[in-house]
Structure 1
Amino acid sequence: MSKEAFHHLIAGLSAQIAGRPLDASLDRWLNAQHGVGSQTYTQLKAACIEGVAEGWLCEREGGGIRYGRPFKPEDALHRFSVDVVDMADLAGPHHTHPNGEIDLIMPIEGDATFDGRPAGWCVYPPGSAHHPTVDNGRALVLYLLPEGQIQFTKS
């Protein structure tokens, strides 16, 4: 999948979630409608794997994490930025989500979990914070951040 096709795929998904509160209800809805086994999940995972292999995703590396932001917030993506990280058995830098965060967890090796969650979607509400952690293997994690807002902390 090309970077442009990936953008189109994300735009279609973001149209469905734009304006919705980032909360447990959205978490449940995403997993029910676009979770593991769905066409959306399958396409996004394949696109991310291909993008990493082709070098247009996760083109940077630091602290044992490969990462990248292929798309900044824009109207076509309903003001979400798109980031993808490639992590294996480690905790990333602590950060807060001023506007919340929507994550798609895609295990690549082993039974990888992200913050204790298996494959699928995880929604963090506005004001939440964490050390993003992958255990039990390797995973790609796609992040949708409203207005691209993330604040790294020293905690």
Structure 2
Amino acid sequence: MEPKNKKVVWNIVQSWWILLNFVIFMNWSSFVYIAIRVKSKRWAIWSVIYTVSCFVGISMVASFTHPSWQTNSGMALLIISWIVCFFHSIIVRKEFLLRLEARALLSRKEDYNLKRQLEDEYGIDFDMPTAQSNQPAPKTTTAKDRVVRQSTPGE
């Protein structure tokens, strides 16, 4: 069992992607990140939705003359999608952290299984300390106020 404050620090560090939502034109990138990180198709779809709404809103604002319904609609789309994305990322944070932890545990389990498979194939034990060499340790002697390290083979 991990100490509670270590887990809290891990949760905070792993939630850095929520800060991407504070940049209004980059809010969609938070869902791209979490979709890639935990390999979630559902969040990848949400990232596409937020990306399209962001760029459609930007293009509507930039393409039409400013006091027009298209510009107003584009700005509304941009702001609404930004706010929805922000609250959506706060809602999915807990699930993301659990999925991330599950993937880490799965990775450790796969490593353990691979080690056991290699132990069976090669007849080795990864948990056993490394064997000592049969070669003698080098001897240290002094010669005219200098320390000289000598090794003699075969002793």
| Structure of higher RCO (CA pairs closer than 8 Å, 6+ residues apart) | 1
Query: What TM-score do you get using the length of structure 1 for normalisation?
Result: 0.22
Richer in strand (by share) = 1
Higher helix proportion, which one?
2
Higher Cα Rg, which structure = 2
